[in-house]
Chains A and B, each alone.
Chain A
Amino acid sequence: MLFKIIQAEQMKLKRSPVWLAFFLLPILPAFMGTFNYVQNVGILDDYWYSLWTQHTLFTCYFFLPATIGVYCSYLCRLEHTNHNWNSVMTLPVPIPYIYLSKLFTASVMVLATQVWVGILFIISGKLSHLPGPVPPELFEWLAYGAIGGIVICGVQLCLSLIIRSFAVPVGIAMIGGIGSVAALSKGAGALYPYSLMSIGMRANSPGGPMICTPGQLVLSSVLFLGASTVIAVLWLRNKDVVAA
């Protein structure tokens, strides 16, 4: 059943250029970050690790949360228009599956983005003639970053279900991303959903240890995902009739 609903989500996205945002977004920091790195090799002297900072610092603080916000808004837009919530809610499918299928679709996009970020990082490093091999931690950075990204998907989907506007959840994601800088500086990064991605990707200290332990990151992610799923399901169950 869940698989069929996921297939339906894929059909809704057919021929939609929504993936383009995730394709284009990492190219900018890869291009400009590498250029900035090459210009400042004297200061940024940690080779691959310095390049990683240039590629990911701004992106996972400010821009990936907002791009995920755009994607999640898009995933809910079809239902918000033309009274489609009425049709969706009368389908003989369990309500949690509606949310979970959207979460799965958004998570796949986050995973694909992480792979793309990794590929761009390796290409940029090779083109900049960086000495030494690609950091062995790269897979770990990307994997933990993906977990943090999926948490943002969960929260944003919840917001996009509740808020009927396309743009407002994107604005909230942007403010959420900026708030992650404050949360991290206060040492509360693991307690704030929008900072989990930058913690996982270790955007500001790729060579050092993670701000929290991997266990804490995973536990926090599971808690946030669980909470957003419960809120979304309760909302759908109680408020679905508002389908104007």
Chain B
Amino acid sequence: MPNISSSAFQKLKDPKRRKRFIANQIKNAFAFQVRALRKAREMSQQELAKEADTTQALISRIERNGATNLSVKTLQKIADAFDVALVVRLEPIDRLLQWVDDLSPEAMSFPTSAKILVEMEVAAKSPSKMEAGTATGSTFRVIEGTASRVIQRTLDFDRPRLIASEGTAETPPVITREGTDTWQIQKIS
């Protein structure tokens, strides 16, 4: 849940203002995002229009007025041109607030789906992405197979797909990834 200020609560409790807040995500946020993504990809409006099989005038209109009055089909073309996902779904207000609350530049501009998938594939194969489940924030040394390949990582212990056995400082816990592979870990701090 995002932490919401009391003034934001007051505004959003008013149905009119709430509707406007939601509508502004379609208008302003989309306009800013298209411009940010286009610049990040070093594309002109003309080039984006060509990729999206539309006109430069439409791209210009989107960057001024956002997605208001555009068909989902047109939005899909823009998303395809950037190789990103277009999310059209009904969501509760708290989830929308979470998105709006993310003030990071990465929320506006991000890599293509193809690039992200390659990174995910590499990460999935790498033990450096191993995560497990007790003592959040503790630093552990991961001993992977032989002593010559010791990798030190900070493990996020919130992910359920990895199971950690109980361990002590003297007896390091053993973590098992999806019930198959096993690594030993030593607590450092």
Specify whether A and B are partners: no
Using a CB–CB cutoff of 8 Å, the interface residues on chain B facing chain A are: none
